[in-house]
């Protein structure tokens, strides 16, 4: 078991990573200040892991909330169901919410914790690779709106994160790949050595070798934590974490939530961002090819859906949160391991990238 501390002053918190952690009470108890706990999970995860977490929390007054599974349920209405349960059980400001599941459960539970009585404690127990490397760090919580993804939310830091690698054994192959997209992202944006390590170890990661997965989670969280510690409120450098996300959100929004996995959309978005970076002359075209090979070896898509036009992209990207005052800002690469947030790119090159990638 390894512990990584996300350094945020008086809101710092530990990430515990390793095998067989979720049933061990010692990872939860020091981070719970009242007697009441709510475990929020979904219909897929509950049969697999809920009883283990309940056992770890047997010293507390525990209720559980089992939500439907899927991004289409990441709505204000679903969060309101969490509030219903909290109020019916008369939980007060000292309650602790435990998010057991992937990013959707984590985002909604975190948002519920941010808003219940104007803020209560919560613990993340991410059970997907994506949520272990992405949602665990940064304090972003929230829900979708029919007109945009993650448009409603709050910054709210967990008391701790318990990232149990063993839970990845039940993860579907496509979700493992989607998580690897974000792992690859950390190499691309700020850790060239890790990027090389991923090229060397992709086969073992796909074979779910525990020591490799642990290393990938730890290294990803370290990278994200370093970027987030530098810029908690996403005013500047933190936005490099969105490499591939502006193109990717356009894909997700166009297809409707849940059709493409987030990581799949991000993978395609990253290759598009790399293509634009190469057109700008910032990276070598060979690097774009090398990234495509890596993404494909991780069984990730490198082309957007065939029914998307260039105008679909442009229209959907304009409502993306990275747009400041109407100017489209993108995360691009100055080199592998060195991303930058910029609006200083040629719109002709953007058009060329879109033309290259749409049918």
Smaller CB distance to a second copy: residue 151 or 335? 151
Question: In this chain, which of 60, 116, 195, 260 binds a second copy, going by CB under 8 A?
Answer: 116
Smaller CB distance to a second copy: residue 140 or 219? 140
Contact present, 205 and 212 (Cβ < 8 Å):
yes
Min separation Cβ 234 and a second copy, Å? 8
Which range touches a second copy (CB under 8 A), out of 45-53, 153-161, 175-183, 338-346?
153-161
What is the full DSSP assignment across 176-209?
A: HHHHHHHHHHHHHHH-HHHHHHHHHHHHHHHTT-
Contact present, 120 and 96 (Cβ < 8 Å):
yes
Tokens 């809920």 belong to residue: 50
37: which residues sit within 8 A by CB, 6+ positions away?
A: 57, 60, 61, 62, 63, 95, 96, 97, 98
Smaller CB distance to a second copy: residue 3 or 343? 343
61-80: which residues touch a second copy (CB under 8 A)? 76, 80
Min separation Cβ 115 and a second copy, Å? 5
317-356: which residues touch a second copy (CB under 8 A)? 318-319, 321, 323-326
- In angstroms, what CA-CA distances link 267 with 14, 300, 335? 28, 7, 17
10 is a site residue for a second copy (CB under 8 A): no
Question: In this chain, which of 23, 69, 72, 153 binds a second copy, going by CB under 8 A?
Answer: 153
- Catalytic annotation, residues: 118, 140, 182, 224, 234, 238, 242, 245, 249, 262
90 is a site residue for a second copy (CB under 8 A): yes
- In angstroms, what CA-CA distances link 62 with 80, 154, 209? 19, 25, 34
Number of residues in contact with a second copy under rule CB under 8 A: 35
List the x/- string, 123-142, binding to a second copy by CB under 8 A. Answer: -----------------x-x
Classify the phi-psi angles of 246: left when phi > 0, otherwise alpha if psi is within -120 to 50, otherwise beta. alpha
Question: In this chain, which of 3, 29, 92, 311 binds a second copy, going by CB under 8 A?
Answer: 92
Which range touches a second copy (CB under 8 A), out of 19-27, 37-45, 143-151, 272-280?
143-151
Which range touches a second copy (CB under 8 A), out of 17-25, 147-155, 218-226, 303-311?
147-155
Residue 231 token pair: 């810029």
Q: What is the largest CA-CA distance in the chain?
A: 62
Rounded CA separation 115/118 (Å): 5
Would you give the end-to-end CA distance of the chain in angstroms?
47
Altogether, the residues listed in the chain come to a count of 359
Binding site for a second copy (CB under 8 A): 34-35, 76, 80, 83-84, 87-88, 90, 92-94, 114-119, 140, 142, 145, 147-148, 151-155, 318-319, 321, 323-326
């Amino acid at each position: 078991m390894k512990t990584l501390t996300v350094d945020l002053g008086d809101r710092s918190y530990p990430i515990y990573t390793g095998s067989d952690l979720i049933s061990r009470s010692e990872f939860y108890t020091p981070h719970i200040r009242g007697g009441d706990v709510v475990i929020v999970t979904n219909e897929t995860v509950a049969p697999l892991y809920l009883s283990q977490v309940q056992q770890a929390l047997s010293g507390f007054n525990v209720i559980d909330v089992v939500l439907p599974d899927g991004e289409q349920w990441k709505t204000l209405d679903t969060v309101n169901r969490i509030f219903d349960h909290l109020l019916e059980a008369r939980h007060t400001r000292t309650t602790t919410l435990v998010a057991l599941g992937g990013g959707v459960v984590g985002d909604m539970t975190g948002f519920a914790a941010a808003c219940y009585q104007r803020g209560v404690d919560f613990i993340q127990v991410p059970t997907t690779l994506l949520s272990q490397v992405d949602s665990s760090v940064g304090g972003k919580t929230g829900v979708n709106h029919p007109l945009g993804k993650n448009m409603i939310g709050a910054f709210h830091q967990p008391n701790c994160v318990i990232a149990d690698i063993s839970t990845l054994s039940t993860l579907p192959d496509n979700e493992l790949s989607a998580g690897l997209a974000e792992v690859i992202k950390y190499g691309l944006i700020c850790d060239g050595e890790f990027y090389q390590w991923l090229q060397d170890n992709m086969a073992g990661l796909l074979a779910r070798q525990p020591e490799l997965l642990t290393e990938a989670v730890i290294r990803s969280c370290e990278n994200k934590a370093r970027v987030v510690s530098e810029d908690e409120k996403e005013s500047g450098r933190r936005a490099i974490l969105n490499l591939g996300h502006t193109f990717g959100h356009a894909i997700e929004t166009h297809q409707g939530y849940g059709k493409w996995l987030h990581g799949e959309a991000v993978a395609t978005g990253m290759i598009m961002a790399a293509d634009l970076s190469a057109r700008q002359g910032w990276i070598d075209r060979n690097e774009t090819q090398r990234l495509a090979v890596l993404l494909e070896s991780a069984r990730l898509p490198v082309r957007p859906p065939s029914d998307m036009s260039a105008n679909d992209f442009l229209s959907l990207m304009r409502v993306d949160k990275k747009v400041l005052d109407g100017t489209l800002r993108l995360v691009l690469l100055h080199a592998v391991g060195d991303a930058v947030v910029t609006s200083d790119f040629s719109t002709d090159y953007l058009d060329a990238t879109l033309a290259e990638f749409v049918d």
